[in-house]
């Protein structure tokens, strides 16, 4: 079950990768016309409307992305199946359709069906599309139906499955929606404290890969909060000084705190291993500061020093509380890095964005001294302080992806030991036949920040933003070995 949930989380990264395009367009549009939001500038209007075309269709992007990510191969058919499922479910459960089923006026239809086009349903449609594809893509039919054999049968089966899903949702969606709304309201009522609780849980769930599910409740329109969409659009429901509170607190941590924490870990490394620690920490710090991708740093100490990671999660929550209370409001479309920070300055719901700099500077000092103290006090085995010294370390910054892939393949036990393999935003995820053949020391010698073993047969190799290039080289090596 955990593996399945983690795979869903990985699949969500594909549609999320579309959001930076919207962020750039929104940022340019608001910088061109910070007062009229497009009414005073044609170029601004084009940028803002183009960005809205992406943000407003996030549920469909989820349906397509999840169906592709959860499919057994990279064929385009799962995307079509996911779209078919989305169209079927949202049409069958629209307010007008439900009013007809219930024989009542549309105003009497439960509010849940007015919000059927949301990220949760998009993910569900993607899962149905991928599931039907994986199960029926090789189906053989009699000669008189041969045209619909194989992949051509997937859309038909998906449509049938989606009808049954819609029937089930007709009865349970109001309950599920009500539960999501109540959960969201309970957090919102806590104000800044709720923002802090969410931010802390966001970091705490990263090792399990389940933080994406939590994000869907607060960032998108699953439970009516839609913090990300409303921050950038300023549409009905946005509240100046409130909207954006579930994003802002990450900026001081990702742009300043973790960078200082990385420096502290470098300073604490053993003299003979400082070069190795510098290569890991510098690459991770740049990724965190500029793009908000924090996994290269976080996974470097998450399992080596879990107590330190708990401190990091708590500090993230404190940052969110402070930013929500002041108030400071910034937003992102990808993550809380420098690029999104600058683009959000003129967004409709931006409030005191410059305060992020002094707040971040304070958190940098806090992170540095707490990390330095904890590492020395408890002799934490952060990068460069491990008991076993990795040999022949390959530095990722050198972009020697072919050599890295070779070492990783050896560490996984060779291509004969691989049952399945794929990648997400920062990790190569492999399923192995014999877990005893996995050599973690060999894997770490490639220069990666860390290795995760969710189960005996599942291995996650944490690489960072350059994971695609390493994966491509890994695939070439495996294909050449067959």
Catalytic residue numbers read 424
Report the DSSP beta bridge partners of residue 420. Answer: 431
- The stretches of 330-466 forming alpha helices (DSSP H) are 338-343, 356-377, 401-411, 440-444
- Evaluated on CA atoms 162, 165, 171, 172, the torsion sign reads negative
Measured between its terminal Cα atoms, the distance across the chain in Å is: 31
Residue with tokens 């899903």, as numbered in its chain: 165
Q: How far apart are CA 327 and CA 356, in angstroms?
A: 11
Q: How far apart are CA 464 and CA 391, in angstroms?
A: 21
Q: How far apart are CA 349 and CA 340, in angstroms?
A: 14
Residue with tokens 């007062």, as numbered in its chain: 35
Show the tokens assigned to 21.
Answer: 């395009």
What's the longest Cα–Cα distance across the chain?
A: 77
Show the tokens assigned to 445.
Answer: 């010698």
Show the tokens assigned to 16.
Answer: 């999320």
Q: Going edge to edge, which strands form the sheet with 418-423?
A: 418-423, 427-432, 458-462, 450-455
């Amino acid at each position: 079950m955990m593996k399945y949930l983690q795979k869903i989380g990985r699949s969500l990264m594909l549609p999320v990768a579309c959001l930076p395009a919207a962020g750039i367009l929104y940022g340019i549009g608001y910088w061109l016309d910070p007062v009229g939001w497009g009414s005073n500038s044609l170029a601004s209007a084009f940028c803002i409307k183009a960005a809205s075309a992406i943000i407003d269709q996030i549920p469909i992007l989820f349906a397509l992305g999840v169906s592709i990510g959860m499919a057994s191969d990279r064929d385009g058919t799962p995307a079509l199946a996911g779209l078919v499922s989305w169209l079927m479910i949202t049409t069958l459960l629209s307010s007008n359709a439900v009013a007809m089923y219930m024989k009542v006026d549309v105003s009497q239809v439960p509010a849940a069906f007015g919000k059927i086009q949301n990220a949760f349903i998009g993910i569900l449609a993607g899962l149905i599309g991928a599931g039907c594809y994986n199960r029926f893509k090789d189906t053989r039919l009699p000669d008189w139906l041969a045209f619909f054999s194989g992949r051509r049968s997937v859309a038909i089966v998906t449509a049938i499955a989606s009808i049954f899903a819609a029937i089930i949702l007709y009865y349970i969606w109001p309950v599920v929606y009500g539960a999501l709304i109540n959960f969201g309201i309970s957090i919102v009522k806590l104000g800044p404290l709720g923002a802090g609780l969410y931010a802390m849980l966001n970091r705490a769930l990263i090792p399990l890969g389940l933080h994406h599910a939590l994000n869907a409740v607060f960032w998108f329109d699953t439970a009516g909060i839609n913090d990300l969409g409303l921050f950038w659009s300023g549409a009905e429901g946005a509240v100046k000084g409130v909207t954006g509170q579930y994003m802002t607190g990450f900026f001081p941590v990702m742009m300043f705190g973790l960078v200082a924490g990385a420096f502290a870990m470098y300073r604490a490394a053993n003299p003979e291993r400082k070069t190795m620690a510098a290569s890991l920490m510098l690459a991770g710090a740049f990724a965190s500061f500029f793009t908000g991708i924090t996994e290269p740093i976080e996974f470097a100490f998450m399992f080596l020093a879990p107590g330190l990671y708990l401190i990091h999660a708590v500090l993230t929550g404190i940052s969110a509380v402070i930013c929500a209370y002041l108030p400071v409001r910034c937003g992102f479309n990808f993550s809380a890095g420098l690029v999104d920070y600058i683009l959000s300055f003129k967004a409709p719901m931006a409030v005191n964005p410059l305060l992020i700099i002094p707040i971040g500077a304070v958190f940098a000092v806090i992170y540095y001294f707490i990390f330095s103290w904890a590492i020395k006090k408890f002799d934490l085995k952060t990068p460069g302080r491990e008991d076993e010294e990795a040999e022949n370390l390959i530095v990722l910054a050198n972009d020697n992806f072919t050599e890295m892939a070779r070492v990783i393949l050896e560490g996984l036990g060779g291509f004969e030991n691989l049952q399945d393999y794929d990648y997400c935003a920062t990790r190569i995820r492999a399923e192995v036949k014999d877990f005893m053949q996995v050599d973690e020391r060999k894997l770490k010698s490639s220069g990666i920040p860390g290795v995760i073993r969710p189960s005996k047969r599942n291995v996650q190799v944490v690489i960072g933003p350059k994971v695609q290039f390493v994966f491509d080289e890994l695939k070439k090596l495996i294909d050449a070995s067959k």
